[in-house]
């Protein structure tokens, strides 16, 4: 017969390990619920008084259907897939909106004062926040509209840079979105 001896803390370690795994599984399942194919994004994007141009572009971004560097390199290996803003990372949807220092600065300047403790730079957290029904109606409209305008403006600036235009500083993008003369 086999005779295994266990250290005194062996079962306590297993119990702690199981508890932490349960917590991780719960966190993963909540994220999966957000990104599951059946997730209905349209109410978060196509809201009353939304600008069709911004809403359509936001829809494309939410569905990861924009030609970011990581997607373009699949079509053509010779494409420069690095971020045109920071040059430090591969251009992905998540990097561009709002992991990149450039886009993060624009987003933060526009809404951090409005959102206060609810401010986030993470795509899924932003989409979750926009989907909440407990947002004040006026604040919800402003945040949704600014969000859509911001990602559209960042994408436009990205395209301008890719096609040789002069780079615009974050302050200029913020002023364009905020309509400050």
pLDDT (0 to 100) of residue 46: 83
pLDDT digits (tens, 9 = 90+) for 90-126: 999 999 999 999 999 999 999 999 999 999 999 989 9
Count of other CB atoms within 10 angstroms of residue 176 = 15
- Domain total in the chain: 1
Model confidence band, residue 37 (pLDDT cutoffs 50, 70, 90): very low
CA neighbor of 118 nearest in space, from 143, 149, 154, 138: 143
The reported pTM is 0.76
pLDDT of residue 168: 98
pLDDT at 43 over 80: no
Q: Is the dihedral of CA 12, 17, 20, 26 positive or negative?
A: negative
pLDDT at position 19: 59
Q: Backbone dihedral region of 124: left (phi > 0), alpha (psi from -120 to 50 degrees) or beta? A: alpha
- 78 inside domain: yes
Q: What is the mean pLDDT of residues 136-144?
A: 91
In a domain, 20, yes or no: no
Q: What is the pLDDT of residue 4?
A: 54
**Domain membership flag for residue 22:** no
Classified as helix, coil or strand, 64 is: coil
In a domain, 7, yes or no: no
Let me know if residue 162 belongs to a domain.
yes
d(CA 110, CA 149): 11
Let me know if residue 30 belongs to a domain.
Answer: no
The DSSP annotation for 76-114 comes to -TTS--B-TTTSSSB--HHIIIIISHHHHHHHHHHHHHH
- The more confidently predicted of residues 135 and 6 is 135
Q: What is the rounded average pLDDT of the residues 70-78? A: 92
Q: Is position 10 within any domain?
A: no
Supply the pLDDT for residue 135: 80
Q: How far apart are the first and last CA of the chain?
A: 85
67 Cβ neighbours under 8 A, 6+ residues apart: none
Q: Which residue has the higher pLDDT, 109 or 41?
A: 109
User: Containing domain of residue 127, as a range?
Assistant: 40-178
121 is a domain residue: yes
Name which residue leads in pLDDT, 43 or 15: 43
């Amino acid at each position: 017969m086999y005779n295994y001896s266990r250290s005194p803390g062996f079962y306590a370690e297993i119990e702690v390990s199981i508890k932490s795994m349960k917590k991780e599984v719960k966190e993963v399942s909540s994220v999966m619920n957000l990104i599951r194919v059946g997730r209905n994004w349209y109410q978060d994007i196509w809201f009353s008084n939304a600008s069709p141009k911004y809403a359509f572009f936001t829809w494309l971004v939410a569905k990861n259907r924009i030609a970011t560097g990581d997607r373009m390199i699949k079509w053509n290996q010779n494409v420069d897939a690095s971020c045109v803003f920071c040059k430090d990372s591969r251009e992905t949807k998540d990097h561009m909106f709002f992991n990149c220092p450039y886009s993060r600065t624009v987003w933060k300047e526009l809404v951090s004062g409005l959102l206060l403790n609810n401010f986030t730079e993470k795509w899924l957290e932003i989409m979750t926040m926009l989907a909440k029904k407990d947002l004040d109606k006026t604040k919800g409209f402003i945040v949704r509209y600014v969000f859509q305008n911001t990602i559209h403006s960042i994408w436009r600036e990205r395209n301008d840079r890719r096609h040789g235009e002069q780079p615009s500083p974050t302050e200029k993008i913020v002023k364009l979105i905020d309509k400050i003369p």
